[in-house]
Homo-oligomer: A and B are copies of this chain.
Amino acid sequence: MPQSPSRGTKAMRSAEKGATLETYLAERRALIDAALERFLPGEGDGPEIIYQAVRYSLFAGGKRLRPILCMAAAEAVGGHGQDFLPCACALEMIHTYSLIHDDLPAMDNDDYRRGMPTNHRVFGEGIAILAGDALLTEAFHLLSSPECTRDNPEKHLQVINLIARAAGTAGMVGGQAMDLQGEGKTLALQAIEDMHRRKTGAMLTVSVSSGAILAGASTKQTAALSRYGQDIGLAFQIADDILNVTGDSDLMGKGTGSDLSRGKTTFPALMGLDASRNRLTELVEEAGAHLAGFDNRAEPLRWIARYIMDRNR
């Protein structure tokens, strides 16, 4: 009979927690992948090539971090995560559009992502641009679909508005423009943090807050969860930068050191590797502190914060 977790050694508890997290993430990914299949517009409803290009990037082995955060935040305030799969999937569609456009020759000019040729390398630049446009548009189509919004139109409009803001000029698009303009320049720490808060942080934060809002969180709960989202958003970027210096290029799916060769300012380049690791730990601890007022239903959010620190991308 296996020993109960409460009586195991610290190392064993940690290993079991790891196994629990892996199981949790795998289960969530399966749910999200099935829902994405369901929510994608059907073939015959437009030219086949655009569906092929959309599916190629949407099912390229993404971690589904944003939809998982959305569902976990809904559960942290007492909701049932699966009720919010449309919003969760829309967030993943917007994330995938941003990756397709970021990889284009006029942007980061990446040939590989997650070890596979990037969308424009397979389908050509024109179709890749359109596949990104399609995913962004279909995300808002899904977010406003009558089946999903019937029960609470006001909250769905609020979430659409927050997601559009996070994805737009004040958020992700603005951050990408700053990133593009910063290439070849050494940016100050504050400018780098501002850029990442927009480029990655805004969408990670809204993933958390949208799940919370749709599940009926109080204003105070939504505020605390948003701050958690901001902290893990920046932590995520610092972890990525560290991995870009130290990581295994197979795990990254692209060459290690690619930021450096592209003349991008990274946290390790700016503050050194040790200080970057300290800042990462600090952010993950702060993220955890914002969850202090939540019970054990927020446990997956606590796991995810640590996962971001430990992950190999």
Contact = CB atoms under 8 A, between A and B. Distances in A.
A149 B157 contact: yes
Contacts of A157: 144, 146, 149, 153, 156-157
The copy count of this chain in the complex is 2
Interface size bracket, A side: 35 or more
A154 B156 CA distance: 10
A90 B189 CA distance: 36
Contact of A177 (B50, B143, B146, B171): B50
A263 interface: no
A105 to B, nearest CB: 8
Interface string A46-71: 11011100100000000000000000
B129 A106 contact: yes
Given A129-B101, A157-B156, A173-B133, A47 B141 contact: no
Nearest to A41: B169
Q: For A134, A167, A173, A198, which residue has the most chain B Cβ atoms within 10 angstroms?
A: A173
Interface in A107-140: 107, 124-130, 132-134, 136-138, 140
Interface of A: 41, 45-47, 49-51, 54, 101, 104-107, 124-130, 132-134, 136-138, 140-141, 143-146, 149, 153-154, 156-158, 160-161, 164-165, 167-171, 173-174, 176-178, 180-181, 198
